[in-house]
A and B are shown apart, each in its own frame.
Chain A
């Protein structure tokens, strides 16, 4: 069974631009969570989607948004990029929302904002 895939793997953007990252969960997994990883803050939860609905949200500004499609694939968008948004963005999938909490991570998208 294929793992979680994320595209693109690397991205360079300039301040003020916006960016969209994509995540395809493990086949059969219906829940997708997004995390931001930086050396200073570690792994920070952004949001979780299940059945095309955002079920949970971390403490990030409204510039960070996401969505989930009917095939469980998910995208996250960051608008008006700031230098501090440079990070590894990780997507994790799990089987469902109410049961298993085991989350399986993708390889991440390394975003650099200049």
Chain B
């Protein structure tokens, strides 16, 4: 089946620093979604990408759909304490309807 490798698994950063995380797939994807999950809650959709090379921002968050269509990146600028949580990438390839999720990046922001 489809595999998504998300890295890093965890990150510890100082407040104010920029953060970057990525996902790579073994197959070509047509859709990339990025979610954030807080403890005890469901994932919240942050950004959706539908075209290779697409760069989309949502406030301090910026995500890109890789031109090879096998990867995606999420950047968070000037991190703040409320950025703490688990970030998931999700993708869809070919004619598949269901999303495949990465294993998540646990982000900790230190004061």
State whether B41 touches A56 (Cβ < 8 A). no
CB of A101 within 8 A of CB of B92, answer yes
In the complex, what distance in Å separates the CA atom of A14 from the CA atom of B23?
38
Closest A residue by C-beta to B42: A105
Q: Is A64 an interface residue (CB 8 A)?
A: no
A92 CB contacts on chain B under 8 angstroms: 42
In Å, the complex CA distance between A102 and B31 comes to 9
In the assembled complex, which residues on chain A have CB atoms less than 8 Å from the CB atom of B31?
101
State the main secondary structure of chain A at its contact with B.
strand
B42:A90 contact, CB within 8 angstroms: yes
B84 within 8 A of A: no
B99→A45 contact, CB < 8 A? yes
A66 to B: closest C-beta gap in Å:
14
- Bound complex: CA A110 to CA B40 (Å): 8
Nearest chain A CB to B63 CB, angstrom units: 13
B104–A105 touching, CB < 8 Å: no
Given the known interface contacts A90-B42, A101-B33, the answer about A33 and B48 at a Cβ–Cβ threshold of 8 Å is: no
Contact status of A48 and B43, CB under 8 A, knowing A42-B103, A42-B104, A43-B88? no
Q: Which of A24-74 contact B (CB under 8 A)?
A: 33, 42-43, 45, 48, 55-56, 58
Chain A, Cβ-Cβ closest to B38 = A107
- Residues in B with CB closer than 8 Å to A103 are 33, 45, 99
A–B complex contacts, Cβ < 8 Å, 19 sampled? A4-B42, A6-B42, A33-B98, A43-B43, A43-B101, A45-B98, A45-B100, A56-B97, A92-B42, A97-B97, A101-B31, A101-B48, A102-B33, A102-B45, A105-B44, A107-B40, A108-B40, A108-B42, A110-B40
5 more contacts with CB within 8 A, not counting A42-B104, A101-B33, A103-B45, are A42-B102, A48-B97, A92-B42, A103-B99, A107-B40
